[in-house]
Amino acid sequence: MRDLISFNSDWLFEGTETVTLPHTAVELPFHYFDERSYQRGFTYEKRFTPEPEWNGREVTVHFEGAMADARVRLNGEEITAHKDGYTPFEARLTGRMKDGENVLTVEIDGSENPAIPPFGGQIDYLTYAGIYRDVWIKLTAPVSIASVKIETPDVLADVKSVLAKVVLADPQGLGVSGSLIAALVKDGKSIAETTIEVQGECAEVRLSDLRDIALWDIEDPQLYTLRLTLETAHGSDTLDTRFGFRHAEFTTEGFHLNGRLVKIRGLNRHQSFPYVGYALGKAAQRKDAEILKYDLGLNLGRTSHYPQSRHFLDRCDEIGLLVFEEIPGWQHIGDKAWQAESIENVRRMIRRDWNHPSIILWGVRINESQDNHDFYLETNRVAHELDATRQTGGVRYITDSELLEDVYTMNDFIMGEFEMGGNRPRTALRPQREVTGLDHDVPYLITEYNGHMFPTKSHDQEQRQAEHVTRHLDVLNAAYGANGTAGAIGWCAFDYNTHKDFGSGDRICYHGVMDMFREPKFAAFAYQSQRDASEGVVMEPVTFYARGERNIHGILPLIVLTNVDEIEVRYGDFPPVRVQPDRDAYPHLPHAPVIVRPEHFGDGGLGVWGMTWEHGEIVGFKDGKEVARRTFVSDPLPTKLVVVPDATEVETGEAVRVMVRLLDQAGNKLRHATDPVSFEVSGPAHLFGPDLVPLRAGSTGLWLRMAGKGKVDLTVTHPILGQTTVTLQAI
Ligand code: GAL
C-alpha cells in the first residue's frame, strides 16, 4: 500500500505568516497593480516530525508546482531544485530526516529569470509567484511503482487490450524482483487481471481479450482504472491510474474521435483568478473545466500556454472535455540552455499527463514563436518518442511556417484585420493553403482568433458587445464551414491579468467571453447556444433592453443567441412577431442565431426616439412548444440581490466561488450597476480579495476558502437592498 498525505497546511511564509497551500506570494488588487510586486524571492518553511509509521518506508515530498526556480532544503541541505513553474518535482526524504523536528525549506524566485521558459521576452499573462499547487508526502514500500504509461493499442476493435509500460523504483538498490499484478477496474470491480514476474526496473504488462469495453467519448466519457500491485520481498505497493479507451486523430479531413468526425469548438484558458493568481486548488480547477464544458458548451479547452493543474485535467477526463496541452512559452526563444530546458518541459508535461484520455494533442512549440528547425525537430522527436499515441501541434501565427508537427496549429487573427487598412475585406478565416503555403492539405486546427483584435468588457456598450458576439459567431461559422479544418479555439474563455505591455492599461486583457469571475459576457452565449437543446435550452438576447443605450437608439437589429427553432418577440401593443434562426447569414453553425430586424416590425421598427419605452418579452419555441421565456421591463430598478455559491458543501481547504448579481423586477441583471457591495464572513473561512468591492456590469464574484469544518455564513450588503446571507458548510 502507498499513502499520500497532504502537506498543504502550516507553512511559515517569509518567516512571519502561517499559510496553507495553494498559496500566492502576493495577493494582488483586481487591477491597476505593479506586477513587479511579486517578482522577487520568497521563502516557505515547514516544520514536521516524521511519524513512527514512516519507518521502513520510502518517504518522498512531492510538489505539484511552484513558481519558479524552486530550491528545496531539508535541515539546511539542498535536496532538490526545479526551475519550471508548471510541472511537478519530488525529493527523497528517506534516510535524510532526523528524529524529532525537521525543517523543510523552499525558496522560490518570482522574478522573470530569462534563463527559464517562458521568460526572456514579453509575455501576455502573469506568472504569479508562490507554491501555488498541492504538496504531498508519499509513503511507499522501499521498492515501488515509479510510473506507468497506459496504452490501448486496438481501441476500436471489438476485442481490446491494455498495455501498461511500468517503471519501478528501487532507490535503495535492493534489487527489483517480484510479481506485478495488473487489474482493470470499472466501478470498483475488477473485470480483468493478470500477473507477471518482474526483474529489474522496467516491465510491460498486457491485459488482452477485453470485451464489452465502453469508449471514452465527449458525450459519454467512460473511465477505467488500472490497478497495479507490486509484491516484492520488501513489501507491496499499489498504484491506481485512471485512463480511457479512445482513438483521437487529426487528418486532412478534420479531427476524428473514435472514428467519427468531431468539429472542435474550443476556447483558450489561462489558469489565473482575481487576487490570488494561480493559487486556487482542486475545487476551483474542477469548476473551470465544468464552466468550459457546460456553461460554454465547448468540446475542447487549450491550456494556453503551459501545463495546467492536474485537477483541471482530471475533471476534463470525467466530463468529456478535450484538451490541447502545451509547454510554457510565449513568442520568445532563448539560447541553447533555455531550449534544453524547454525540451525538458516537453518530457515533464508528457510524463505527467500521458494517461489523460482528454488530452488529444501535445503543443511542442513556444506559442507564436518563429520557426527554429533544430529546436522543434527535437521537441517533436522527444514527444513522439515518449508518446507515439498522440500527435503534436505547435502554435504559430506566422504563415508558410515549417511544419515539423503532425498538425498545423494556427492563430488566425484575420478577422479584425480589415480595420487595419489593406485591401482584404472582412474575412473570418483564411483558407489553410494560404496560411501553410503548401500545395496540399495537412491536418489543420485554428488555435486562436479574436482576442486582442477586439477586446470587449462586460461593461462595454451593447453595440460593441454585439459586435464581439458577431465576430465569434462569424469565425465559428467559418470553422464549421471549412471542410477539413479540425475546428477552432477562440481567444479566450476568461479575462486575465497581464503585464503592462498588454491589455487595457489596468493589467487586464479583456479578451474573455467571460470576465475574470467567469461571469458570461454576451459572447459566451455564442458558444453555449451551439449545444444541443437537450443539454439545455439557450435563449440570450444581446441587449441591455433600453431605448437609448445604442447609437441612434433602439434595440434592433437584435441578435438572439439560441438553440430553439423559433422565437416570438412581444413589445408593448405591437403585434407579436415570430422570427427564425438566420440560416442565410450563418449556414454552417449548428444553431444560427435569430436576428430580429426593424423590418420584422414594419416601418419604424419598435418605435422611435421620444415614444414611450415599453415592456417586452421573448418566447422561445421548440417543436411548436414554448421552451424559454425572457421578460424585459422598461423601468428597471434594483429589486433583488442574488448571492449564488457554486456549491454549499465545500471541502476544508478548498475555495468556492460565490457570484453576486443585482437584478431588476424581471430577474435581468442591471448591466450598468457599479454599486459597492460588502462581504462579511463568519465561521471557518477566508475571503480572498477585499471585503468591499464595486459591482462590475451588475455583478461581482468572490472566492472563499474553507479553513476548517463547520458552518460559514457569508453576508453581502448592498446600499439599497440591504443584506443577503448564504450559509455554506465546510466539510
Ligand atoms: C496571441 C497570444 C495569446 C494572447 C492573444 C491575444 O497572440 O498567443 O497569448 O496574447 O494573442 O489575442
Cα(581)–Cα(542) distance, rounded to whole angstroms?
14
Reduce the DSSP state of residue 692 to 3 states and report it: strand
Cα(266)–Cα(486) distance, rounded to whole angstroms?
11
CA of 117 to the centre of ligand 1 (A): 17
Q: Residue 316: phi, psi to the nearest 5? A: -60, -40
Q: Of 368, 378, 405, 654, which is the active-site residue?
A: 368
Residue 553 confidence (pLDDT): 86
Active site residue 651: no
pTM of the model: 0.98
CA of 451 to the centre of ligand 1 (A): 7
CA-based end-to-end distance of the chain: 26
Residue 604 confidence (pLDDT): 64
> How far from 730 is each of 287, 497, 501, 683, 714, CA to CA, in Å?
17, 30, 41, 9, 12
Closest CA to 536 of 622, 657, 595: 622
> Can you tell me which atom of ligand 1 is nearest the CA of 397?
7
What sign does the dihedral 676-287-646-492 (CA atoms) show? positive
In eight-state DSSP terms, residue 420 is: G
Residue 420 confidence (pLDDT): 87
**β pairing state of 508-509 and 496-497:** antiparallel
What cell numbers appear for 294 in the block? 457546460
Which regions of the chain are under pLDDT 70? 603-604
Q: Are 229 and 169 in contact (CB under 8 A)?
A: no
How many residues are given for the chain? 731
Q: Largest Cα–Cα distance of the chain, in whole Å?
A: 90
Active site residue 112: no
> How far from 563 is each of 297, 535, 536, 582, 627, CA to CA, in Å?
12, 10, 9, 12, 10
Reduce the DSSP state of residue 166 to 3 states and report it: strand
Atom 9 of ligand 1, residue of closest alpha carbon: 124
Q: Which of 491, 496, 501 to mutate to test the pocket of ligand 1 (most atoms within 8 A of CB)?
A: 491
Q: Are 156 and 259 in contact (CB under 8 A)?
A: yes
Give Cα 104 to chain centroid, integer Å: 31
Full 3-state SS string of 624-680? CEEEEEEEECCCCCCCEEEEEECCCEECCCCEEEEEEEEECCCCCECCCCCCEEEEE
> Can you tell me which atom of ligand 1 is nearest the CA of 304?
9
Q: Which residues line ligand 1 (CB under 6 A)?
A: 124, 304-305, 367-368, 411, 448, 451-452, 491, 511
Which residue bears the cell 459567431? Answer: 473
> Can you tell me which atom of ligand 1 is nearest the CA of 509?
6
Cα(137)–Cα(651) distance, rounded to whole angstroms?
20
Q: Are 500 and 35 in contact (CB under 8 A)?
A: yes
